[in-house]
Amino acid sequence: MKKTIRNVFGILFLSTAVLLTSCDNSDDKGNGGDGGNTSSFVVKPTDFQGTITNGVVTLNASVEYQLTGKLVVANGAKLVIPAGTKIVGTGGTSAYIAVAQGAKIEINGTKEKPVIMTGKEQIPGNWGGLVICGKAPINKGTTATSEVADLTYGGTDVADNSGSIRYLRIEYSGANFSSEKEFNGLSLFGVGNGTSIEYVQLHNGSDDGIEFFGGTVNTKYIVASNNEDDQFDWTEGWNGTNEFWYSKQRQDAGNRGIEADNNANNHDASPRSNPTIKNVTLIGRGAVGDEPQGMKLRVGTYAKIDNVVLSNFNVGFDVEHDATIAGVTAGSLKVTNVKFENVVTKSKGKNTAGEAVDVSAVFTENASATGAGNGTNVPTWAQGWTTGL
């Protein structure tokens, strides 16, 4: 009998200890997370800023985070953002999230519960945006410093891994930092192809939706909508394989569907910008002077792009500079299976000297092209988690 009583008390003691331990770990080191926090960084949801220097910080989807300044994920650290989390930028140009080389970000949104990064006010440029810096090759130098966040990027690791992003909306970002520095919704500096980026919307930003500064990162299912400059932009030797891009300009703003560069100082710089992209729909705002343009291809970029729908642009393809035109001639810059809808001029070109050049070989037509999957209509994959389309 005594033995039975001792066993009962032993079980009760162990159960109580387990319960207390569980309760003690539920808010791991004050991180406000869902468990699994190993960082010394303390999250303050109403004043979300600082530098995560070590370990893992996991946010709590039931908490709204006020991004009051810059949040930097430093080398060796990791930020995990679960489905349904909302982060609100309240600090203007000083409020942004930056992931440094050697750090990781893991955004685990779902179609039903996307992660949302937005501004306190629903106006373009209300906060900074998301910046990721990796160790993949660029052609600006072996390494360089990001135009925002002042972080090092570039290197030799083609397969560098900065984490994963799935089902994310970035809204009202793109704040002006200075006359020469502007935030995009998502800026990818030398990001490697070990990084996964799928189901992301860049909406109502004051600059570009998404911009690739070199690197080798691949993307799928990207929506860029209502951004005031370009919807998609690349430069500095970006090479990636991409599928399903959909963009739509605002009626009162928007420059190009795609602006594509290699290197402004050396048009033949290596590695050369040369992405492969399939299934693209770009929708403009109608002819307004010389703009908008479906694709601006210049300063030596190459690309292979297939299955494209261009709608409501003044110019479909605007190709500039000798190095870029040489790519058209050689077939290294080619856009195949293009469907034009309400496009005034399908293509125009000029060489480095500013002389007009026939660049119609840059594209081939196909009236049955489906673009991002549904012509100019919102594709099925973009429904249920995006906004403003």
Q: Which residues contact 252 (CB under 8 A, 6 or more apart)?
A: 285
Task: Write the burial class of residue 112 (CB in 10 Å: 0-12 exposed, 13-18 middle, 19+ buried).
Answer: exposed
Q: Is 105 within 8 Å of 84 (Cβ atoms)?
A: no
Tell me, what's the pLDDT at 180?
66
How many C-beta neighbours within 10 Å does residue 123 have?
A: 10
**SS3 of 60, please?**
coil
Q: Which residues contact 377 (CB under 8 A, 6 or more apart)?
A: none
Q: Which of 114-118, 167-171, 204-208 has the lowest mean pLDDT?
A: 204-208
Tell me, what's the pLDDT at 35?
52
pTM of structure = 0.90
Dist CA 105 CA 102 (whole Å)? 10
Dist CA 279 CA 257 (whole Å)? 14
Average pLDDT of the chain, as a whole number? 91
Q: Does residue 21 carry a pLDDT above 70?
A: no
Dist CA 81 CA 25 (whole Å)? 18
pLDDT tens, position by position, 34-93 = 456 999 999 999 999 999 999 999 999 999 999 999 999 999 999 999 999 999 999 888
Per the DSSP assignment, residues forming a β-bridge with 153 are 144
